[in-house]
């Protein structure tokens, strides 16, 4: 049986940092409120010349280096982003051009929002398991700062910019054990970015819209069921999980999920305090952090989970 394994990880964060104290000068908020209600202390923000593509390229090259591979070894590029430089050509196509590897399939996944990276891993995993391709580069990259209303304190304090990447490669040894992706369009009004709708109405301001409180409650219920589904599909128990690599939306959601798995917080990858919510980039950024810190060891069992606009949600159970 063929599996796909994580061969390498990489990340990129812009140098510019916006601390909660900086936000106190922009909107009616406080460092204490943001830390207590979300766990976020600062976030990275792009500067001139940085965008979803430049960050994806840096993270992707780092992941390839960690895997000991060259761009020419890549058979498929998937970029998860809600903030591409253009709707088309895709960020993945631009990246393919930068890498000089024309010919392989390359596409963006923007419709799964924050779950885009898990959706991308799931797609790449199917192609690798089938034997159609050997190596895939899956990247999450976001410039959330570009789609925020910086006068709206209920959203602008939550997000940050950055990119994370993994290289998946074919292996006879178990790697990704299973992926589980879902959506429920009846919650389309909870989180959205209505670009075309607003353009058609000639409205100038196009920002992310979120009903945070509803989303919080939905996420807690959905993720609990997702854990059960993921473990049951592999006949595993929660005590088998070594690491939780969660989407970084709110520390209270993350702590609740760790509790559901009976995992201490030192077995949970947390980047939220330093990076905020980087949407599709948050899981690969969190994974890369604990991998580079040498905390995650080969053969440990990792549970990756996400939820986002759509609603969409998904998990990947990975033997690292």
* Active-site residue set: 114, 247, 277
Residue 143 in contact with residue 132, Cβ under 8 Å?
no
Q: Quick check: 224 binds ligand ACO (CB under 6 A)?
A: no
Rounded CA gap, 212 and 189, in Å?
11
Q: Quick check: 279 binds ligand ACO (CB under 6 A)?
A: yes
One residue of 138, 191, 291, 304 binding ligand ACO per CB under 6 A? 191
Q: Quick check: 114 binds ligand ACO (CB under 6 A)?
A: yes
Name the residue nearer to ligand ACO (CB basis): 80 or 261: 80
Name the residue nearer to ligand ACO (CB basis): 98 or 192: 192
Q: Quick check: 81 binds ligand ACO (CB under 6 A)?
A: no
Q: Quick check: 38 binds ligand ACO (CB under 6 A)?
A: yes
One residue of 180, 192, 216, 233 binding ligand ACO per CB under 6 A? 216
One residue of 16, 37, 180, 292 binding ligand ACO per CB under 6 A? 37
Report the nearest approach of ligand ACO to the CB of residue 203 (Å). Answer: 21
Number of chain residues interacting with ligand ACO (CB under 6 A): 23
Interacting residues with ligand ACO (CB under 6 A): 29, 33-34, 37-38, 113-114, 153-154, 157, 191, 210, 212-213, 215-216, 219, 249-250, 277, 279, 308-309
């Amino acid at each position: 049986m063929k599996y796909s394994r994580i061969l390498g990880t990489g990340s990129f964060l812009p140098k510019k940092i916006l601390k909660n104290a900086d936000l106190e000068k922009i909107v009616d908020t406080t460092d204490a409120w943001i830390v207590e209600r979300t766990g976020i202390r600062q976030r990275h923000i792009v500067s001139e010349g940085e965008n979803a593509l430049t960050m994806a390229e840096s993270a992707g090259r780092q992941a390839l280096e960690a895997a000991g591979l060259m761009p020419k070894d890549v058979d498929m590029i998937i970029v998860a982003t809600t903030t591409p430089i253009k709707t088309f050509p895709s960020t993945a196509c631009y990246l393919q051009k930068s890498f000089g590897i024309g010919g392989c399939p390359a596409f963006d996944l923007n419709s799964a929002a924050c779950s885009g990276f898990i959706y991308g891993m799931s797609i790449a995993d199917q192609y690798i398991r089938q034997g159609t391709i050997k190596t895939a580069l899956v990247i999450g990259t976001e410039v959330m700062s570009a789609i925020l209303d910086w006068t709206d304190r209920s959203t602008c304090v939550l997000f940050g910019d950055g990119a994370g990447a993994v290289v998946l490669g074919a292996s006879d040894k178990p790697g990704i054990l299973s992926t589980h992706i879902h959506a429920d369009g009846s919650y389309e009004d909870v989180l959205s970015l209505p670009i075309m709708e607003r353009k058609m109405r000639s409205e100038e301001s196009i920002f992310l819209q979120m009903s945070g409180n509803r989303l919080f409650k939905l996420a807690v219920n959905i993720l609990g069921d997702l854990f059960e589904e993921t473990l049951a599909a592999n006949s595993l128990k929660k005590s088998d999980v070594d690491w939780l690599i969660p989407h970084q939306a709110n520390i209270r959601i993350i702590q609740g999920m760790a509790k559901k798995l009976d995992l201490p917080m030192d077995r949970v990858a947390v980047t939220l305090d330093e990076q905020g919510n980087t949407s599709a980039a948050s899981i690969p950024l969190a994974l890369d952090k604990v991998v580079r810190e040498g905390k995650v060891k080969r053969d440990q069992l990792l549970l990756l989970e996400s939820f986002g606009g759509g609603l969409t949600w998904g998990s990947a159970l990975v033997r690292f």
